[in-house]
Amino acid sequence: MRAPAFWGGGGGGIAPLLLSPISAIYAGATARRMARPGWRAPVPVICCGNATAGGAGKTTVARDLGARLADRGIAAHFLLRGYGGRLKGPVRVDPDVHDSTAVGDEALLLAEVRPTWISADRGAGGRAAVAAGAQAIVMDDGLQNPTLEKDLSLLVIDGTYGFGNGRVIPAGPLREPVAAAAARCHAAVLIGPDECGALSQLPPGLPVLRARLAAGPEAQMLAGQPVFAFCGIANPGKFFATLQEVGAVLAGREAFADHYPYDAGDVKELLAQAEALRALPVTTKKDFVRLPPQFRSRVTVVTVQLAWEEPAKIESLLDPLAARIPIPA
């Protein structure tokens, strides 16, 4: 789905006011759900969550943390719902067997680097991961899912979007009030500059870690090249801006709804537009895994990675969790 325009920062008008009674019911239901106890895993559980519906960079943060744990010799497994996929889980993701219609696009990205599980019931998914040898679990999303207790929760914030208009679904993009989400988190991760004043809405004592998204090394080949960029992510402008930052010439662009399921007709039209512009068709890795396989060789992928302003801060949050895990000599 595309988020309504009034969900954005400064979004006013009559719609949010009319929807506010439903928002109160939604927020109340979330609070009651979160009051239920979850399963306490025998291994550390880290949650990369957010307060808003849609992307904030959670998957990128999760991948980064999984790599940091691996560097310490810890067998970390990823766990997520598998949004956009038909399987409910618990299922271990196999990129050779599953596609995005089965497990969702984020699950495929995570499964490239570490063992990955999808499960609507995160507690059941956590049990499956532990039974399979996980020494730590990194959750991509799940801050509003109570079925698995967390040892470290991070509130991931997209600096270009913040908390939108500050209202709860359906009057705004929030899954719950910011204060409620922040109260369960040990730190916030701000990705990009705080363009919307999001930090001013956080509790004063909540630590804030700053990071930015940097294009992968393959993006350097695009400098000076005309490109036709397309994507179906929560904030398409971030992808287009990333291409311009590496010097690509944006000859054309096309934005789709988040998690858009491309079919053959869509891709043929996109490739035709790129050819008409004499431009290289480029997209994100998240979009690439949703393309029909027969077209993937004709599309260039630009990846992103997380660059921490102070890497020592995230390492210090991982230290006490890592200390609980016996590492073989």
Per-position pLDDT tens, the chain of length 329: 677 888 887 666 888 889 999 999 999 999 999 999 999 999 999 999 999 987 789 999 999 999 999 999 999 999 999 998 999 989 999 999 999 999 999 999 999 999 999 999 999 999 999 999 999 999 999 999 999 999 999 999 999 999 999 999 999 999 999 999 999 999 999 999 999 999 999 999 999 999 999 888 888 899 999 999 999 998 888 899 999 999 999 999 999 988 999 999 999 999 999 999 999 999 999 999 999 999 999 999 999 999 999 999 999 999 999 998 876 65
- How many residues comprise the chain? 329
Instruction: Given CATH 3.40.50.300, say whether it is the number of domain 33-213.
Output: yes
Q: Quote the CA–CA distance of 106 and 237 in Å, as a whole number.
A: 19
Domain boundaries, the chain: 33-213, 217-302
pLDDT confidence of residue 203: 95
> Would you state the structure tokens that stand for residue 329, as one six-digit string?
């000599």
- Give me the torsion for CA of 39, 45, 46, 51, rounded to 10°: 0
Q: Identify which of 118, 64, 119, 120 has the alpha carbon closest to the alpha carbon of residue 95.
A: 118
pLDDT confidence of residue 264: 96
Q: Quote the CA–CA distance of 61 and 154 in Å, as a whole number.
A: 9
Radius of gyration, CA atoms only, the chain:
20
Q: Quote the CA–CA distance of 118 and 112 in Å, as a whole number.
A: 14
pLDDT confidence of residue 75: 96
Residue 197 has phi, psi (to 5 degrees) of 70, 30
> Would you state the structure tokens that stand for residue 324, as one six-digit string?
């609980």
> Would you state the structure tokens that stand for residue 313, as one six-digit string?
């801060």
Q: Quote the CA–CA distance of 121 and 115 in Å, as a whole number.
A: 18
Q: Quick one: CA dihedral 176, 180, 184, 189, positive or negative? A: positive
Q: Quote the CA–CA distance of 282 and 227 in Å, as a whole number.
A: 7
pLDDT confidence of residue 8: 85
Residue 318 neighbours by CB under 8 Å, 6+ apart: 46, 65, 68, 69, 72, 152
Q: What is the pTM of this model?
A: 0.92
The burial class, CB within 10 Å (0-12 / 13-18 / 19+), for 162 is buried
Amino acid (1-letter code) at residue 165: N
**Within 10 Å of residue 212's Cβ, how many Cβ atoms?**
16
pLDDT confidence of residue 270: 97
Q: Quote the CA–CA distance of 270 and 101 in Å, as a whole number.
A: 21
